[in-house]
């Protein structure tokens, strides 16, 4: 069995990769150089792929900075400090990112003969992005069923698998720890320094999850002695 795994180098996608491995899939991770604010997440993705002995790690070059509209692609927009109680969609949202990434992953799955695409979207402890919701995944699955030669002519179904969708960040961390996911190789920081900032949305959600799990985050944070 083969699975394409969307691998950002972050906590959730790495745990998602561990889930796919635990289910016996041969791993075909796909990552994206989309002209994001920093390259640290791609460096982490490469290390994570090596850790899992991926069959092939595909890195796609694309340019979402040309679209703009996000603090993760436009250097003129600063990354704001986070707020775990925010209910609006923050400026770190990248327009249509998961739709674009899943479309690439679907094509990759068709070519390598994978029947699963794993994506680590989460609809509980997250930043409110619309393309992380179960409604989006359900509709993309319907689209995928009619989008490829594999699914329309060859009788295959390529399943979009979201094992983390209903988990809290605490539960994701506990699952990753149980499966031996290399959390120490990951990054979650939107600012992308050698040490995580500890104050952006993604860092705050990650730190909250580790605190609730009763575990120490193994990555370094700026101004914190032990991460």
Integer angstrom CA distances of residue 116 from 2, 135, 157: 7, 19, 8
Is residue 40 one of the residues assigned to a domain?
yes
For residue 142, the enclosing domain spans 2-183
Instruction: Please state the domain count of the chain.
Output: 1
Is residue 122 one of the residues assigned to a domain?
yes
Is residue 116 one of the residues assigned to a domain?
yes
Is residue 189 one of the residues assigned to a domain?
no
CA–CA distance, 43 with 177 (Å, rounded to integer): 21
Condensed to tens digits (0 to 9), the pLDDT of residues 2-24 reads: 999 999 999 999 999 999 999 99
Is residue 127 one of the residues assigned to a domain?
yes
Q: Model-level pTM greater than 0.85?
A: yes
Condensed to tens digits (0 to 9), the pLDDT of residues 182-227 reads: 999 999 999 998 999 999 999 999 999 999 999 999 999 997 754 4
Residue 66 CB-density burial (10 A; 0-12 exposed, 13-18 middle, 19+ buried): exposed
CA–CA distance, 110 with 100 (Å, rounded to integer): 16
| Average pLDDT for the chain | 94
**pLDDT number for residue 225:** 55
Is residue 210 one of the residues assigned to a domain?
no
Could you say which DSSP state residue 76 is in? T
| CATH number, domain with residue 179 | 3.40.50.620
Q: What is the H or E stretch that residue 116 is in?
A: strand 116-118
CA–CA distance, 157 with 139 (Å, rounded to integer): 15
Is residue 69 one of the residues assigned to a domain?
yes
Average pLDDT of span 66-89: 87
Could you say which DSSP state residue 79 is in? P
Is residue 194 one of the residues assigned to a domain?
no
């Amino acid at each position: 069995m083969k699975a394409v795994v969307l691998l950002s180098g972050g906590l959730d996608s790495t745990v998602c990769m561990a889930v796919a491995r635990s289910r016996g899939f041969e791993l075909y991770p796909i990552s994206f150089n989309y002209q994001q604010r920093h390259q640290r997440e791609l460096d982490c993705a490469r290390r994570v792929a090596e850790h899992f002995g991926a069959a092939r790690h595909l890195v796609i070059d694309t340019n979402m900075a040309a679209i703009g509209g996000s603090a993760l692609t436009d250097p003129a927009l600063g990354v704001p400090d986070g707020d775990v109680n925010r209910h609006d969609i923050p400026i770190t949202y990248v327009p249509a990112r998961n739709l674009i990434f899943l479309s690439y992953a679907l094509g990759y799955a068709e070519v390598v003969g994978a029947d699963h695409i794993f994506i680590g979207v989460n609809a509980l402890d997250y930043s409110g992005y619309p393309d992380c919701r179960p409604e989006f995944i359900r509709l993309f699955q319907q689209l995928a069923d009619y989008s490829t030669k594999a699914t329309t002519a060859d009788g295959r179904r390529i399943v979009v698998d979201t094992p983390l969708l209903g988990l809290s960040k605490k539960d994701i961390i506990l699952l990753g720890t149980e499966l031996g996911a290399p959390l120490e190789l990951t990054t979650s920081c939107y600012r992308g320094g050698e040490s995580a900032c500890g104050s952006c949305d993604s860092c705050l959600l990650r730190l909250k999850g580790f605190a609730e799990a009763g575990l120490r985050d193994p990555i370094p944070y700026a101004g914190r002695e032990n991460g």
